[in-house]
Amino acid sequence: MEILATGLRFPEGPVVMADGSVLVVEIGAGRVTRIAGDGTRSTVAETGGGPNGAAIGPDGALYVCNNGGFRWTEDAAGLRPAGQADDYVTGSIQRVDLATGAVTTLYTASDQAPLKGPNDIVFDSDGGFWITDHGKVRHREMDLGALCYGRVDGSGLKEVVFPIHSPNGIGLSPDETTLWTVETFTARLWAFSIVGPGEVAVEVRPGARHGGHLAASPTGLRGFDSLAVEADGSVAVAQIYTGAIVVFAPDGSVVEEVPMPDAYATNIAFGGEDMTTAYITLSSTGQLVRMPWSRPGLRLPFNA
């Protein structure tokens, strides 16, 4: 494992660029940062709030899920979220022009409700995007979450899946017929069958009001954060509380569990010529690391 950057304020949402640099959001600093292959750091944009997940869209811009901001706890163990920020206003989907750093707000609501805490984003090859709205946690209450589908032209953000408990990472199978998401606080992996752009088959039943299919629900103290899909369709999930990357086969069986030196391993992305380099955010200690990966990751549609 090689440390590329330290001193980041709760980094998340790594995006591996064609030139070998990596974009990360710093949730605790409200900004997007570029880290070159040699570790050189530069600020791309100041988003404010709590930039969380990020992905390159069909127009080459960076699209950011902004959760609106957290309160924080910081001690010898590092930096950790501690609920909704005192100055929280709303969640949003933002567009960042990578050439100028200009930030524009694309959505603050779906067709059903205001966005509470957008968390992660993935684009399909059609140019539309899926997001998780994780919701916000307050002292004695928390929001129900949702999965939404939108377009970069601002023509609409449609709520597709509701309710779902604390949805976090989101990804697509290589053939884009399965939508994957994980719930943070229940540590469950869910699968939804995609039947069209922004449409999933829904099978409502007890324990799954949202209509998804439970793929995995491992035991033990753990929380699930963001995820990335491997080229063979396996799902690599970043695990918090007991830091690790846990890889699930499409049938839900565990392929491997790779321990991390930070309890808050929050995200993984793949890069390199053969897509066998993993970039991982170790958030409470403020690090971006990279390491060889046993299997190639899935190349995303617009990341060149």
β 188-196/22-26 pair status = unpaired
Catalytic residue among 120, 133, 225, 262: 225
Which DSSP symbol is given to 49? S
Are residues 33 and 26 in contact, defined by beta-carbon separation less than 8 angstroms? yes
Residue 119 assigned to a binding site: yes
CA 61/CA 59 separation, integer angstroms? 6
What gap in Å lies between CA 69 and CA 81, rounded to an integer?
Answer: 9
Please indicate whether residue 133 is annotated as part of the active site: no
168 a known binding residue?
Answer: yes
SS3 for 203-272, per residue? CCECCECCCCEEEECCCCCCEEEEEEEECCCCEEEEEECCCEEEEECCCCCEEEEEECCCCEEEEEEEEC
Write out the binding residues for a divalent metal cation.
168, 225
**Annotated binding-site members for substrate:** 119
Which residues are documented as binding site? 119, 168, 225
Residues with catalytic annotation? 225
